[in-house]
Amino acid sequence: MSSQPEGEIIVKEKYGSSSTERIYIKPPEQAMVVVYDETKINYFRNWFTNVFLPKGYPDSVSRDYSAYQIWDTAQAFCSTITGTLATQEVLRGVGVGDTTATPLAATVTWVIKDGCGHLGRILFAFTHGTCLDAYSKKWRLYADILNDAAMCIEIALPYFKNYTTVVLCVSTVMKAIVGVSGGATRAAMTQHHAVRGNMADVSAKDSAQETAVNLIASFTALFIISVFGSNAFIFVFIMMLHIAFNYFAVRAVCLRTMNEPRFLEFINIYLTKERIATPCEVNRREPVAFYQMGSHTLDLKLCGFQIKMGVSIKDLIKKKYPKASHLKNIKDVYENRNYIIIPNVQDRKMYVLLNEKAMNDDILRAYFHAVLLSVIICVINDVPLPVYQAPNEERPFAQVCRTIQTTDWSREPIETHVFNEFKFEPSYDLMKYVNRIVQREWMRIKTGMMRIGWDLNKHLLMVDEWRISSVKPLSQYAPIEGRVSTKDYVISEADAKLTKELLMELEHGDGVTYGVVETKPLMHYKKEASKRRVHDIGTETESPEIEEYREPNTEAEVKAEVPKENRKKD
């Protein structure tokens, strides 16, 4: 490395956050400025950065980019080697090198194989396309595991010579699923890493890295084949490395938007440890495989209920539940909310109906509210949950639960027979009580989450598209007698009357006024009947009072919103 020339330093330039500098110096007894350029000294490093890393690295990408790319490069290297070894057996299976095989037979086999792959790609996109954003880590890992399974089938192809076409069709369908899920989740990862809106640049450099790795891995695979031949031990060993590297890659990603596993883990930490968890902490504890199975779903494990977001009221009507009067009372509880939460104790499901004006903040708040209400319903029914039991029984939230457990106003006997341990459903007073808690606690949670780096401008929760809106369009289609078919839908007389009654009860009217609800710290929330002190589960910081905006509904209100100088004269 050459030494810096002597003289007066006029100015320095620095390239981004790197150590590369240009120094402009006026040497002694000279009038001209001399440029001391470190880019010439670090030529190879600069060339490597420009070819394989996004412009502005590391400032132009997220902090987890480097760790993810290291593991992703390692898994791509292993994947190329195993793919080359599997290709050898596929070519042998379709007749390459076999003098008895005909070109037509090999062509037919190949066409059928590709056709099955196309159908598999379409069906998988139809059935699982909406899940890929919310569970990008899981499907990124599943894609590579499925890819390895497909290659294992191809490696075993010589043992199924009489079923070559069937075996190839199965492996091709599996690889088609890999193509859809792997490509979609890679795009999601790229979007996360591109913090400057440079998604195309990040994607292009990722492709350059993968191409270079594949080139090196291909020659490595040829060397392995020429030296060891078709060695099953080497294939299994490299495949295990491939899966391990993929697991480390998805673990290295720190996503800052909430999906269901991350939000449930966040709520669990908040209720049991009384603190707001950082994105990296939640991502480290987030399960990335085999967690949505039967009774072991994450929401059931945490709060005892399954949370159903954005569902239709018809889902409740199918179960002969609830009555219109019951819906009216629940609507009154949530009159200042853009959502309505209806518990179905019989099926252990929590239905969240969303208003058409519901925004991202309303959806996140509704999910938190549904989890909290679910836990408290389990409390009044003496259903054990780790969130309020040992070793968390001394936490403030557990004390709140124990206080509610001793009150009579919090529960009502279930009228119908249920085939589970639930005997009570929440009273309307309890719903109002939980609503007040959520009003206060969500303000604290939201402020804290924004401060420590969570992105609340969007979410990745699985939310259906049904929204509560006006009942006026229903009147022109509701039948009077029998069963009537329209160009929009078919509805029976019984369903029409019940649906119209329910929607009429849920209708907000001309408009809903949203304002500040008087709240107190959770430690002061109590019911007159209980006469017991309940402790705060949040911090001591006072949450700011925010008066929410209401859209003007009448012509007078609209005019009042417009400055006088901008109003048109009648």
Long-range contacts of 50-59 (CB under 8 A, 24+ apart): 51/208, 52/205, 52/208, 52/209, 52/212, 53/205, 54/194, 54/198, 54/201, 54/202, 54/205, 55/198, 55/201, 56/16, 56/196, 56/198, 57/16, 58/17, 59/16, 59/17, 59/196
Q: Which two tokens stand for residue 305?
A: 């209920």
Of 73-82, 309-318, 483-492, give the range with the top mean pLDDT: 73-82
User: What is this structure's pTM?
Assistant: 0.76
User: Please, how many CA atoms are within 13 Å of residue 539, restricted to the half-sphere of its CB?
Assistant: 12
Based on the fold, state whether residues 109 and 40 are members of the same structural domain.
Answer: no
If you ran DSSP here, which 8-state letter would residue 463 be given? B
Q: Are residues 270 and 241 in the same domain?
A: no
For the chain, what is the largest distance between any 2 Cα atoms, rounded to a whole number of angstroms?
Answer: 105
C-alpha torsion angle, residues 506, 508, 512, 517 (rounded to 10):
-30
In a domain, 333, yes or no: yes
CA–CA distances in Å: residue 325 to residues 335, 345, 504, 505, 570 = 15, 17, 11, 8, 46
CB 260 within 8 A of CB 461: yes
Helix (H) or strand (E) holding 268: helix 260-273
Mean pLDDT, residues 439-452: 93
Give the integer Cα–Cα distance in Å for 286 and 280. 10
Mean pLDDT of 259-282: 93
Which residue, 183, 190, 212, is CA-closest to 61?
A: 190
Residues 234 and 281 in one domain: no
Higher pLDDT pick, 265 / 471: 265
Token couple for 327: 């819906």
| Residue 231, domain CATH | 1.20.1250.20
- Secondary structure class of 410 (helix, strand, coil): coil
Per-chain mean pLDDT for the chain:
79
pLDDT class of 452 with cuts at 50, 70, 90: very high
> Is 126 inside a domain boundary?
yes
146 and 174 Cβ atoms separated by less than 8 Å: yes
- Higher pLDDT: 394 or 228? It is 228
At 10 the pLDDT is: 76
**Domain closes at, from 227, 252, 277:** 252
CA contacts within 13 A on the Cβ side of 259: 18
- Give a yes or no: residue 570 inside a domain: no
Between 225 and 454, whose confidence is greater? 454
Residue 76 in this model has a pLDDT that exceeds 60: yes
Contact call for residues 82 and 238 (beta carbons, < 8 A): yes
Q: Clarify whether residues 266 and 184 are in a common domain.
A: no
SS3 assignment for 291-351:
CCCHHHCHHHHHHCCEEEECCCCHHHHCCCCCCHHHHHHHHHHCCCCCEEEEEECCCCEEE
DSSP letter, residue 524: G
- Same domain? 84 vs 187: yes
- The pLDDT tens digits for 455-510 are 999 999 999 999 998 544 444 444 444 444 444 444 445 445 544 554 554 454 44
3-class DSSP state for residue 116? helix
**309 and 194 share a domain?**
no
Q: Over the stretch 96-115, which tens digit does the pLDDT of each residue have?
A: 555 555 677 777 877 888 89
Nearest to 331 by CA among 474, 465, 502: 502
Six-digit token string for 209: 């890295």
DSSP output for 477-513: T--SSSEEE-SS-EEEHHHHHHHHHHHHHH--TT---
The closest of 37, 41, 39 to 22, measured between CA atoms, is 37
CB atoms under 10 Å from CB of 94, counted, come to 19
In a domain, 459, yes or no: yes
Long-range contacts of 287-291 (CB under 8 A, 24+ apart): 287/261, 288/137, 288/138, 288/141, 288/247, 288/250, 288/251, 289/138, 289/141, 289/142, 291/261
**3 state SS of 23:** strand
DSSP-based three-state secondary structure for 86: helix
In contact, 452 and 278? CB cutoff 8 Å: yes
Given a cut of 50, whether residue 24 has pLDDT beyond it is yes
Q: Which domain holds residue 315?
A: 261-470+507-524
Pair 44, 80 in one domain: no
Number of domains in the chain: 3
Quick one: which H or E segment has residue 568? none
What is the CA 498 to chain-centroid distance, rounded? 35
Query: What's 33's DSSP letter?
Result: P
For the beta sheet containing 8-14, the strands, ordered from the edge strand earlier in sequence to the opposite edge, are 8-14, 21-26, 34-37
Residues 243-262: what's their mean pLDDT? 95
Q: Are residues 265 and 397 in the same domain?
A: yes
Q: Per residue in 376-404, pLDDT tens?
A: 999 999 999 988 886 767 788 888 888 89
SS3 call for 352 = strand
Q: Give CA–CA dist 335/513, Å, rounded.
A: 9
The set of long-range contacts for 403-409, using a CB threshold of 8 Å and a minimum separation of 24, is: 403/526, 403/530, 403/532, 403/533, 403/534, 404/376, 404/379, 404/380, 404/430, 404/433, 404/530, 405/379, 405/380, 406/530, 406/532, 407/527, 407/529, 407/530, 408/529, 409/527, 409/529, 409/530
563 vs 13 pLDDT, higher one: 13
Cα separation of 96 and 103, whole Å? 9
Residue of 402, 442, 399 lying closest to 270 (CA atoms): 442
SS3 state of residue 551: coil
Q: At what angle do helices 360-380 and 260-273 cross, to 10 degrees?
A: 60
State residue 321's pLDDT score.
62
Q: In terms of Cα–Cα distance, which of 370, 339, 342, 334 is closest to 357?
A: 339
Most confident range, picked from 343-347, 497-501, 535-539:
343-347
> How does strand 21-26 pair with strand 339-344?
unpaired
In a domain, 398, yes or no: yes
pLDDT of residue 476: 42
Spatial separation of the C-alpha atoms in residues 322 and 435, rounded to whole Å? 20
Determine phi and psi for 87, rounding to 5 degrees.
-60, -35
**Integer distance in angstroms from the first to the last C-alpha of the chain?**
80
Same domain? For 132 and 36 the reply is no
Residue 568 lies in a domain: no
Q: How many residues does the chain have?
A: 570
> What is residue 326's predicted lDDT score, i.e. its pLDDT?
84
Averaged over 171-178, what is the pLDDT?
A: 93
Q: How far apart are CA 117 and CA 132, in angstroms?
A: 19
203 and 280 inside one domain: no
The Cα–Cα gap between 173 and 316 comes to 38
Answer yes or no: do 239 and 375 share one domain.
no
Q: Is residue 437 part of a domain?
A: yes
Residues 34 and 148 in one domain: no
**Domain for residue 305, yes or no?**
yes
Amino acid identity of residue 149, one-letter, is A
